[in-house]
Amino acid sequence: MWMPLLRKKAWAWVPVLIGWPACAWAAGGFGASDLLAILLLLLLALGGGWLVGRRAALRSNQLLPAAMDSDQRLMWALWGSGDNFWIWEVADDLLSWASARPMLGYGAHSSIKGADWRAQMVHRADRARLEAAIKAHLDGSADQYEVTYRLRDAQGRWNWVRARGRVVARDEAGRPTLVAGTFRPIEAERASDSERRIAAEVIRHMLEGVSVTDLDFHFVSANPAFLRLTGYEAEELSGKSASLLDSPQHPPSFYEEVRQRLHAHGSWSGEMWQRRRSGDDFLAWLQIAEVRSPEGARSHYVAVLADVTDRKRAEQRLRYLAHFDPLTSLPNRAFLRQRLRTRIDTGGSRRFALMFMDLDRFKHVNDSLGHAAGDELLRQAAKRLAHVVGESENVARIGGDEFTVIATGDTSNEGVERLAGEILDAFAGPLLVAGQEIAISPSIGIAYYPDHGRNLDELLRHADAAMYEAKARGRNTYRVYSVRMAEDAGERTRLEAALRKALDRDELRLVYQPKLSLRSGRITGAEALLRWRSAELGHVPPARFIPVAEDTGLILQLGEWALRQALSQARAWADAGLPELRIAVNVSAVQLTRGGFAELVKLVLDSHGLKPSWLEIELTESALMADPKRSGRTIAELRELGVRVAIDDFGTGYSSLSYLRGLAIDTVKIDKSFVDGIEHSVDDEVLTSTIVLMAHSLGLSVVAEGVETEGQLTFLRGENCDEVQGYWLARALDADKLRAFVGSYRMPAGLVLPGAR
């Protein structure tokens, strides 16, 4: 390739032949020794060219081997550098290049001529950049031409190359005539650079902190996450010792041991307390590993750091929640079981007592005042219980309003029962909840180990059975387990399960007991009474299933069903031509204080097209006193609708007529227990007379229930009692029999009050 070039004027090539190796050396392709060798070769070539000019015919055959030897040496130099040499003759727009090893699919010597060589070989996206670089160098604004672009290979594929060049010859006017330089493929370099850039971006955007230190643990670099976690700026860390982050949470020896392990093994991982620039400590998970040079020597350490403080706190919180009640901070059921199991397993036959406590009528308070008030009540109850029991015993809240105490101090019967009495006394005073005083009492069941159970399940079950016995005995008391209680508890469980199915199985029905007006001699109303015949248990009296329904909340479903059924029957009687008959429906405290009861009543009345005067709501005094404020609001809403309200079983509860008058009550019903004693007890006669007199003075009507004899009726008639109901008049009847009874009943003339109409 080079011999045709040498046929030109030798001195015209001096800039080329000197400039090219100089350019290659400047570009880093040659070393100094290579440059010297090539210059010597070029001088020989120039000398040969001069001699050719002087003695062309005579000496050409002698100079040819020397020129070929120079060409070979040039190929060796190019081979050693890995570069390709090119010359661009500007005027002819001829590009020639050479390589000792064919590259990009071209031969060792190639050339291309024409104004469109760049269009043929350079990627169109890179041409503008290439043209700009060439122009900048040719017009002298850039000392050297250097550009990276994509070059088409012999198969038409694009390859990234880096080209460097410089003007090596100009004409008399100073215009560039010859540009020489080198180029080399850089696909591998770009791939490597791309990987490094991707890795750098990944590290830069990692949520974990990454830092690099030298072998003496001085910071070399850190990613943004590391700077955020530690609070330092990059320049503040650069060159500083990693001990800057050591926390007093660990002794200094801990950090020294970690560094010694790194020196010995090259890696370490684990939890480590670190200190931020602000002075705050945080728990970090650290993974530290050595970095080795290409020669295999250890050069740096890289550390990946994650702040696990919040995660550790969450784990601690979960462990806490697994064993403690978040509302009261008392141990929970799981902790209780663990403590009981440990005591049973390690204590042998050593006696202790398990006390199972439930707050009486807590559901009423919770439903009437809301869950926030209920939660506050539980917190106060837990504090009061823990204060009485003290630290020597184990108190736990096992769910809802249920608490337990493991009594391990004085475990004699007298000692444990004395503790139970102290707990009851502690709840004698009211609790202040939501701005009002709430009277709440506990019922306590007691079971002894090993007397009443040798494993925790038996002990818990028997203490629970004793607690239900305490509730059955009137609440606010304690009972010690007996075998009979287990039978009762099992019966209660079966009763509750069957009651939950009663509505679906259509096992409930209403019967109606008529009320007689002593003033008119007519049947003026009827009380709807709930009856249940279970497919499993047979006939179950209300005294057995109503308390269970109230304790479990099933009374809400049963009560709404009874209200709808009673008013539906009233509509049917009216459609059948029966005169207006006021239906009395019993309502529990849970229904009354739940909220929305008056709206439910209005909805059911409207759906059946009945006037509110057709309905009377009967409430017990205890139901009213469960939450007087809310009860008063509900009664006022019912009265505003036009629904009458009666107090059932009057005289067995608070017995305050003036207080009840403040609740806008219409009717007082004298309890059967007083009516039963009219013919036998002067006290009952006086009390009954007083109730009638005071009720009338307050504008209230009076109904006597449980009237069974003519003597009782005569006395009540003489005291001007308004209405009576009971077996003397009629037992509870089903709907059809009541209709017939009302249509045919005639009161004996001698019993009608004077002036009756």
DSSP per-residue string spanning 253-264: HHHHHHHHHHHH
Q: Which of 535, 550, 513 is nearest to 732 (CA)?
A: 513
What is the residue whose two structure tokens read 């295999």? 296
Mean pLDDT of the chain: 81
**Distance, CA of 360 to CA of 597 (rounded, Å):** 23
Q: How many Cβ atoms from other residues are within 10 Å of residue 593's Cβ? A: 25
Give the chain's domains with CATH numbers: 2-182 (3.30.450.20), 206-313 (3.30.450.20), 324-481 (3.30.70.270), 506-751 (3.20.20.450)
**Distance, CA of 622 to CA of 632 (rounded, Å):** 13
**Distance, CA of 637 to CA of 645 (rounded, Å):** 11
Question: pLDDT tens digit string along 377-396?
Answer: 999 999 999 888 886 568 99
Own/partner long-range contacts of 28-32 (Cβ < 8 Å, ≥24 apart) = 29/81, 29/82, 29/83, 29/182, 29/184, 30/77, 30/81
What six digits make up the tokens of 188? 């591998």
Q: What is the pLDDT of residue 5?
A: 39
What is the residue whose two structure tokens read 């079981």? 337
**Distance, CA of 165 to CA of 95 (rounded, Å):** 13
Question: pLDDT tens digit string along 94-104?
Answer: 888 776 555 56
Helix then strand then coil, % of the chain, to nearest 5: 50, 25, 25
Own/partner long-range contacts of 248-253 (Cβ < 8 Å, ≥24 apart) = 248/275, 248/281, 249/273, 249/281
Q: What is the pLDDT of residue 558?
A: 93
669-687: b or e for each residue (b if 16 or more CB lie within 10 Å)? bbbbebbbbbeeeeebbeb
Residues of the chain with pLDDT below 50 are: 1-64, 67-68, 654-655, 755-757
Sequence-distant (6+) residues with CB within 8 A of 667 are 616, 644, 645, 646, 647, 700, 701, 702, 703
Q: What is the pLDDT of residue 578?
A: 86
Q: What is the pLDDT of residue 751?
A: 62
For helices 14-26 and 32-54, angle between their N-to-C axes, nearest 10 degrees: 170
Counting beta carbons within 10 angstroms of the beta carbon of residue 662, is it exposed (0 to 12), middle (13 to 18) or buried (19 or more)? exposed
**Distance, CA of 599 to CA of 591 (rounded, Å):** 12
Q: What is the pLDDT of residue 40?
A: 40
Rounded to two decimals, the pTM is 0.47
Counting beta carbons within 10 angstroms of the beta carbon of residue 538, is it exposed (0 to 12), middle (13 to 18) or buried (19 or more)? exposed
